[in-house]
Copies of this chain bind each other. A is one copy, B any other.
Amino acid sequence: MKKDKNKKVKLVVVGSVALDTIETPIEKKEEILGGSASFACAAASRFVKTGIIGIVGSDFPKKYLDLLESFNVDLKGLEKINGKTFRWSGTYDKDMNNRTTLCTALNVFADFKPKVPDEYKTAPYIFLANIEPRLQLMVLDQMKRKPKFVAADTMELWIKTTNSDLMNLIKKIDLLFINDSEARHITGNFSLLQAAKILLEIGPRFVVIKKGEHGSLLFSKNSIFIIPAFPTENVLDPTGAGDSFAGAFMGYIARAGRINTATMRKAMLFGTVAASYTVEKFSLDGLCDATLEKLKKRARILRNMIRV
């Protein structure tokens, strides 16, 4: 890993870093590493040097910093301040597709203002993982050079509470990741095709609609790409699947260094495969298994499953 230490950060990710308490029908885990930026950075780091922008409290376990470093994530942008780390807890029902949030404690996140480290300010690829749109915009505003490609993820909560910030953000990005129910909600349109058209008209060149276990769709003005989820036998915890998907997607295109149909479709393939590793274990444990070699191998298997 040493040799990568001094590589320049190509992809910058802002998002949450959290301590999750998760109950599934099979098992319960307390205070495990979670948050949109943790998953996205771990997945992206398999492809490219990735820097994280986020915040943790003084209670944040050192072992989790070590874990992120073991993925080779650049931690310069991870602020540590006095106070408690952001915490989330939730339960999943039997089919693992619906989750209920039991508790969200913002803690140090409540007053978080992302600061982009100087050496990230010219990074070509930016992923604004799921946090408040206002904070996502703050990161874009600090960039010194217009990035080559900016993608953002969002969630139901921001559609409901900060819709105008979110709309402002969507106008400024190249790609929006959104799940099916969110796409329906934000556009007021039940058809995903029509929802995607409306979102594309707002500004981004690409829209990725995530459907969980049913795969995902990539829309641009004149093409659609559809990919199923990788069929995994044992789904242990779906938390972070979408973040891992987006992280691997962005890592793949940052590594490829070009935006065209073939690259975007391969990025969808690798996003899908990274998500499949994530759901097989809790926290980042699944991604720990997912070396670039293993991701490539599973990508070949999936590609063969969809070839006709």
Q: Which residues of A contact B (CB under 8 A)?
A: 94-95, 190-194, 211, 214-215, 217, 223-228, 231-234, 265-266, 268-269, 303, 305-308
Partner of A225, one of B95, B232, B306: B306
Is there an interface contact between B211 and A214, defined as CB atoms closer than 8 Å? yes
Minimum CB–CB distance for A9 against chain B, Å = 28
- How far does the alpha carbon of A94 sit from the alpha carbon of B184 in the complex, in Å? 13
- What residues on B are CB-neighbors of A232 within 8 Å? 193
Minimum CB–CB distance for A156 against chain B, Å = 17
Is there an interface contact between A306 and B226, defined as CB atoms closer than 8 Å? yes
- How far does the alpha carbon of A263 sit from the alpha carbon of B94 in the complex, in Å? 37
- How far does the alpha carbon of A117 sit from the alpha carbon of B308 in the complex, in Å? 36
- How far does the alpha carbon of A232 sit from the alpha carbon of B214 in the complex, in Å? 16
- What residues on B are CB-neighbors of A228 within 8 Å? 215, 226-228
**Most chain B beta-carbon neighbours within 10 Å: one of A192, A225, A232, A308:** A308
The 4 closest A-B pairs by CB, nearest first: A214-B214, A226-B228, A265-B308, A193-B233
Minimum CB–CB distance for A77 against chain B, Å = 33
Is there an interface contact between A305 and B95, defined as CB atoms closer than 8 Å? no
- What residues on B are CB-neighbors of A231 within 8 Å? 192-193, 217, 224, 226
- How far does the alpha carbon of A62 sit from the alpha carbon of B25 in the complex, in Å? 55
- How far does the alpha carbon of A215 sit from the alpha carbon of B268 in the complex, in Å? 18
- What residues on B are CB-neighbors of A306 within 8 Å? 225-227, 306, 308
Minimum CB–CB distance for A237 against chain B, Å = 15
- What residues on B are CB-neighbors of A194 within 8 Å? 233
Minimum CB–CB distance for A223 against chain B, Å = 8
- How far does the alpha carbon of A217 sit from the alpha carbon of B269 in the complex, in Å? 18
Partner of A191, one of B214, B233, B303: B233
- How far does the alpha carbon of A214 sit from the alpha carbon of B212 in the complex, in Å? 11
- How far does the alpha carbon of A191 sit from the alpha carbon of B231 in the complex, in Å? 9
- What residues on B are CB-neighbors of A227 within 8 Å? 228, 306, 308
- What residues on B are CB-neighbors of A211 within 8 Å? 214
- What residues on B are CB-neighbors of A217 within 8 Å? 231
- Chain B residue nearest in CB terms to A25: B190
- How far does the alpha carbon of A303 sit from the alpha carbon of B234 in the complex, in Å? 29
